[in-house]
Amino acid sequence: MTTETFDKQFTLRNARDMSVTISERGAALVSWWAPDRYGKVADVLLGYPDAIAYRHNSVYFGAVIGRWANRIAHGRFELDGKPMQAAVNDRGHHLHGGDDGFHRARWQATASKQAVSLRLASPDGDAGFPGNVDVQVQYRLDDEGALSIEYEAVCDAPTPINLSAHPYFNLNGGTADVGDHMIQIDADNYMETDQGGIPVGVADVAGTPFDFRQPAAIGPRLGWPDAQIRLAGGFDHCYCLGDAAMGRAGPLREVARVYDPGSGRTLQVSTTEAGLQFYTGNYLDGVQGRAVRPYARHDGFCLEAHAYPDQLNGEHAAAVILRPGQVYRQTTVYRLAVQGA
């Protein structure tokens, strides 16, 4: 008879009545309690009803994603002229590190009042990727409502690295879907995809439902007669934030904002990354969350900062290869505030 050890969780608090809970399972953001314009506190993250469910986490609630966030076409790529095959788990393609990616691993955590740090050792051959990789992620919550996520990784052999966090937000605290949320994304271009979610080209957002350069409600855009929206069942597309070189470790800059008119909550997203995946929870139907009613499609949205999808098979593949002696670094900040506060 064996007894399973429960995964530890850690909570950060600030002076604005916010609390963020992080699990060592998947280094996942489990909850983020925050006040609205009336001072009423609610959880703005989607999540599972208990800690055990995070061991499977088929929809990646809150988790850190690796070694490769987003997709690799057919899981195939070349590394220094050698063909490689990563695990495939989504319509014949690699998605989010495979079924047993970082989102299901048990990380080693240490915590203080100011921060939670988590470490993971990914062995050579993990999901088909070469080399041993040591990863560290640190969460820090300040009194201005900014949750910073800082990533570092080192390796002993050349290997792709592309990390991201995958929180699902609903700024109304789950009282309705996210259709009335007003979103703004500072990007002139996005990546069109095929039916498997693999990029097929870069397109101008002008004149399309993907143009969020000025704030617009999410819900009406989901109903536009657009082939890309129909293909994905909503938004599941990468916005191009970076320059043509698409190098990592760009300057930290604000790239997106989301406002919920009902609660007054505003989410600001800043990142060093070249890509921002906007996803509207198109596959949430029937997923059991913390409420009695299972989640439905579009009950949450994600803004995932990372390199470009399938970048390993493009002209900028070298920018996402980590080599011995180098350190992968990334910073993404989610800041919650109340409009007018």
Is 74 one of the annotated active-site residues of the chain?
no
Question: What CATH number does residue 154 fall under?
Answer: 2.70.98.10
The per-residue pLDDT for 249 is 56
pLDDT tens sequence across 132-160: 999 999 999 999 999 999 999 999 999 99
Q: What is the rounded distance in angstroms from the CA atom of residue 209 to the CA atom of residue 235?
A: 9
The per-residue pLDDT for 244 is 44
- Does residue 1 form part of some domain? no
pLDDT at 86 over 80: yes
- Does residue 46 form part of some domain? yes
pLDDT at 283 over 70: yes
- Does residue 116 form part of some domain? yes
Q: Report helix, strand or coil for 133.
A: strand
Domain count, the chain: 1
Catalytic residue among 94, 273, 304, 306: 304
- Does residue 93 form part of some domain? yes
Q: What is the rounded distance in angstroms from the CA atom of residue 139 to the CA atom of residue 135?
A: 14
- Does residue 184 form part of some domain? yes
Total residues belonging to the chain: 341
Q: What is the rounded distance in angstroms from the CA atom of residue 47 to the CA atom of residue 64?
A: 14
Q: Please report which helix (H) or strand (E) contains residue 220, including its range.
A: helix 218-222
When pLDDT is averaged across residues 238-255 and rounded to a whole number, the result is 77
- Cα angle 214-256-19, degrees, rounded to a multiple of 5: 135
When pLDDT is averaged across residues 256-271 and rounded to a whole number, the result is 98
The residues near 2 (Cβ < 8 Å, ≥ 6 apart) are none
Pairing of strands 29-35, 41-43: antiparallel
- Cα angle 200-201-204, degrees, rounded to a multiple of 5: 140
Is 304 one of the annotated active-site residues of the chain?
yes
Q: What is the pTM of this model?
A: 0.96
* Domain extent at residue 79: 9-338
The per-residue pLDDT for 246 is 55
- Does residue 4 form part of some domain? no
Catalytic residue among 103, 166, 237, 298: 166
The per-residue pLDDT for 242 is 73
pLDDT tens sequence across 147-195: 999 999 999 999 999 999 999 999 999 999 999 999 999 999 999 999 9
- Does residue 115 form part of some domain? yes
- Does residue 2 form part of some domain? no
pLDDT tens sequence across 232-244: 999 999 999 976 4
